[in-house]
């Protein structure tokens, strides 16, 4: 239980951030990040990938930090729809970027093991905040950068 639900038992990550001394103001992405989670009401696995795009403000974090935050948030019993929101909340709290997007695309074993026994269905969830929510051109740039990556 502690390994599968590590995000529930481990405290919030101690993250090192850095001042944005060069005033970077363009979008950068971390893609794809492997995700694994467990739906709390079925205890069935959710596996897939996350894509994160950030336009920084005053603080930046290292690339591996995005992976560690994603792993920590996803390693909790929850539904995918809430997990993407929690991941977005963590990124927002850590670096308060000008804008960012988080997209998860996953297969849920509940679909294959129970109920409809559907093997080809996946779920995609997304959160866009700041510039990526307010400016269609910024959101389109993120989506274009994601498109080149495997789901």
Whole-number mean pLDDT of the chain? Answer: 87
| Spans of all domains in the chain | 6-147
pTM for this entry: 0.87
pLDDT one-digit tens code per residue, 36-89: 887 666 667 888 999 999 999 999 999 899 999 999 999 888 888 899 999 999
CATH topology of domain 6-147: GTP Cyclohydrolase I, domain 2 (3.30.1130)
Task: Please report the pLDDT score of residue 123 as a whole number.
Answer: 85
Of 108, 74, 70, the closest CA to residue 5 belongs to 74
Q: Which helix (H) or strand (E) holds 145?
A: helix 136-147
Are 90 and 128 in contact by the 8 Å Cβ rule? The answer is: no
Q: Angle CA(41)–CA(47)–CA(10) in degrees, nearest 5? A: 70
CA distance 88 to 15: 15
């Amino acid at each position: 239980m502690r390994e599968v639900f590590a995000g529930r038992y481990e405290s919030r990550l101690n993250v090192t951030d850095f001042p944005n001394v060069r005033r970077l103001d363009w979008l950068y992405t971390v893609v794809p990040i492997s995700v694994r989670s467990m739906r709390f009401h079925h205890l069935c696995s959710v596996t897939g990938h996350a894509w994160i795009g950030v336009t920084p403000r005053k603080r930046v974090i290292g690339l591996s930090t995005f992976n560690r935050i994603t792993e920590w948030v996803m390693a909790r019993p929850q539904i995918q729809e809430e997990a993407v929101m929690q991941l977005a909340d963590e990124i927002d709290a850590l670096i308060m970027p000008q804008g960012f997007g988080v997209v998860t695309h996953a297969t849920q074993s509940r679909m294959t093991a129970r109920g409809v026994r559907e093997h080809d269905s996946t779920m995609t969830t997304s959160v866009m905040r700041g510039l990526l929510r307010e400016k269609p051109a910024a959101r389109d740039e993120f989506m274009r950068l994601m498109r080149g990556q495997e789901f």
